[in-house]
Amino acid sequence: MSLVSGPGRGGTHNQDALPDQLKLAVDQHVRYIRNLDTRKDELQYWLTEHLRLNGVYWGLTALHLLGHPEGLPRDATIKFVLDCHNIDGGFGAAPGHDSHMLYTVSAVQILATVDALPELESSKYGGKAKVADFIANLQDRESGTFAGDEWGEQDTRFLYCAFNALSILNMMDRIDVDKAVAYVKACENFDGSYGRIPGAESHSGQVFTCVGALAIARRLDLVSQDRLAAWLSERQLPNGGLNGRPEKLEDVCYSWWVLTGLSIIGKLHWIDKSKLSNFILRCQDTEHGGMSDRPGNMVDVFHTCFGVAGLSLLGYPGLRKVNPMYCMPDDVVQKLPYWHK
Amino acid sequence: MPPTSTSTTTLLPPEAKPPKSKSQPYYSVHPSWQDVVPIAQVDQAGALAAIAYSPRYSEAMSYLRSVMADTEVSERALALTEDLISMNPAHYTVWIYRMRVLRGMWTGAKAAKVDEADEKQEAGDEAGEIDEALWQNIQRELKWLDEVSFRNLKNYQIWHHRHALVDLLPSTPDTTAFTASTPSQSTETTTSDRHKKASTAAPLTEATKTRLLKLVASEQTFLAQILSLDTKNYHVWSYRQWLCMRFPSFLLPSYTSETPSSVAGTYRSHPEVAAIDAMILDDLRNNSAWSHRYFILFGHHELTYSNIHGVILKNVNEERLLHKAGLVDMPLIEAEIEYTKQEIRKAPMNGSSWNYLRGLLSHSALDISTTRDFCEEFLGPEKDLWMDQYVDVESEDSETGEKQTERQQIGVRSSHAVEWLSEIYAAEGTEEGRRRAKECLRSLGEKWDIIRMGYWDFLGEKMEEEWKQKDA
């Protein structure tokens, strides 16, 4: 899965469309994603090797939401994921890469999406118990938060990843959920939003990880819902797009990070949904496929995934329903033992 | 597969540096690397493709895999990481390995295990001194890192590397206030828990203090340069905030939770405050600058209180705990309120400055009604809530009798002001107040901020509910 940008550009081939004429170019996006894995002749393919497993997750999720799960071959995908499995139980970005929380959660999400979680048990490095071991060992038992690996820094992103993966595996009891929840609570600022550590600048990405984690832990009571929703609604700019922090530019990926927060706390109607929908549609290259961060820029699989997910959350017709906590097909999430109680 | 050398291969001269070309081999034909067997990429088909496109990069990666497998600590391993970083600075593992090599080389720990390196570090800490060699090493690496940072503004790993580097320096006695091991406060973690021992560390020697001051000053200079190129980079601001917490006595205007006297008189000339003043002067819409301003003047006090009393940050603010404890620097608050109002007048729609003002009120427990006159500055004539910002005013030239129109800015100039006034008027508790409050919300939903109609409707309903209950 290539993480190169382009060749398409957002906003091309549909600049003259009237707002209500804008449509989602499903076939072109499917073709764009399928072609990504064939671009091994570009240097960027290799320079982004350290993101490869994330790339597969973004591409696969977009295909599933677009209604084309067959777009990536299931067996090859499963094999690639298992090839990324390491002896410590975690997953690396690509075969031979060191394990990290970010790739471990992608691995688990991919397997769940293609209904292949039992395949984990066939890995020579152990099954889900080993994966859970890897994740549990990354929790700082004192503060409650998580590191990405044994060397790196702590961040609520990794806390969210741990909750995401372990709930999918139905092994949340392996970690101290209460301590982690307390840490998330400590990251809330006076404006109701969240920063990456206590006292840090409020940021939409952190809202996704913090609120997502609390939602998975079934602790949404800890969110200052009205104040947070007000802050999130202020992310919408006159052009309909959403930004990540006050006075910054719009970016299609915030259609996801901001939208999930509003969706989870039931305040989607505090923004103008049709304006946002039109903004996302204007970020497509309707001929070459793919979406960019904003009209005029090069497309990539990351923004394609979150643009499509945002449209699904907005109820765009024909898309499979997405789950706001996981950014995975909702029907897959609902079948998980953790939610199917 | 990069060729292993044979006796017939011509080796490069020992002083040869990695070439800029993407296709020329280097490690496989360099005399200092002949003993290493490179490890190829696991995925065979992919390996071939990679080599076809960029033999240099895939060659370097195969040598990296080999030295990492042996956890080699050496100058040549260091040079290899530098080479890879120049080709692919986003490759996380290379940075981690570079730090391991550095730590190993600097502390003589053969196996480059960070724990061993940390033990040697702690010995230095307890003497309240910085080892001369370590100081020079850190300076050298920082200088190299500065250059890499300028070339890779959007890279995150660079800032984690810098953090890990600077964190090798001794703790100052007040560092414990911010990195103590209480649940709500654990932030960036080094792989050691040196800071937990800081309270038992010897006080700093004068020589050490001088050095730390010098480092902090040069960090501020570097940060100013980097931020001038990428003013809102979240990683850079995160690093800056961490630096303030790591060396509070050098970087914060008032770093204790007791405020024996106000800093209001002199604080604007404090280097960190002056740095933020400059950034806001350059771009008053820089949300990160405003956020950092709040942190250095007020936020860190809240964090300290939160730490000491085991109360989470949000509650410190919501329950006005600093105000109740008599720990708010009111002259400072007042000075900052004046400053912020001045900035708001320059750009009345700037959300960042209005958020900051909200933070000041929250921190000091001042009521929002104290800003009523200020908010009303942004309404139309006679506090009109509907007039357009610009009005074409017709006049007649007194000499020629010619009719002219002139655009004048006299209407509502800030939707934030209108939002605040809805809250202020509602709190007055009078019929007129309630009527005005509702009119504010209506003007927002119908004219000034239509995109957020759902929110204004919600506030209106909430108000009605509260009044119904009050009146009952």
Domain boundaries along the sequence of chain A: 15-340
- Contact present, A251 and A241 (Cβ < 8 Å): yes
Is the Cα torsion angle A270, A272, A274, A275 positive or negative in sign? negative
pTM here is 0.89
Share of chain A above pLDDT 70, in %: 94
Mean pLDDT comparison of B24-33, B124-133, B203-212, B246-255, highest-scoring range: B24-33
- Contact present, B239 and B256 (Cβ < 8 Å): no
Residues in chain A within 8 Å Cβ distance of B65: 96
**In terms of pLDDT, which residue wins out, A191 or A50?**
A191
pLDDT band at B187 (very low <50, low <70, confident <90, very high): very low
Whether A83 contacts chain B with CB within 8 A: yes
| Per-residue tokens: B432 | 């007129």
Q: What is the DSSP string of B382-424?
A: GG-SS--SEEEEEEE-TTT--EEEEEEE-S---HHHHHHHHHH
What mean pLDDT is predicted for residues A220-240?
96
Range with the lowest mean pLDDT among A324-333, B18-27, B282-291? B18-27
Whether A198 contacts chain B with CB within 8 A: yes
Q: How far apart are CA A146 and CA A156, in angstroms?
A: 7
**Secondary structure of residue A42 in the 3-state scheme:** coil
- For an interface test with B, which of A37, A46, A56 has the most B Cβ atoms less than 10 Å from its Cβ? A46
Range with the lowest mean pLDDT among B44-58, B184-198, B212-226, B383-397? B184-198
Please determine, for residue B44, whether its predicted confidence score (pLDDT) is greater than 60. no
Q: Which of B87, B189, B313 sits opposite A147 (nearest CB)?
A: B189
Helices (H), B347-371: 351-364
| Per-residue tokens: A64 | 């599933």
Residues in chain B within 8 Å Cβ distance of A179: 183
Provide the pairing of β-strand B403-409 with A322-323: unpaired
Is the Cα torsion angle A47, A50, A51, A56 positive or negative in sign? positive
Q: How far apart are CA B34 and CA B54, in angstroms?
A: 21
ipTM exceeds 0.95: no
**In terms of pLDDT, which residue wins out, B403 or B220?**
B220
CATH architecture designation of domain A15-340? Alpha/alpha barrel (1.50)
What mean pLDDT is predicted for residues B199-224?
85
Whether A224 contacts chain B with CB within 8 A: yes
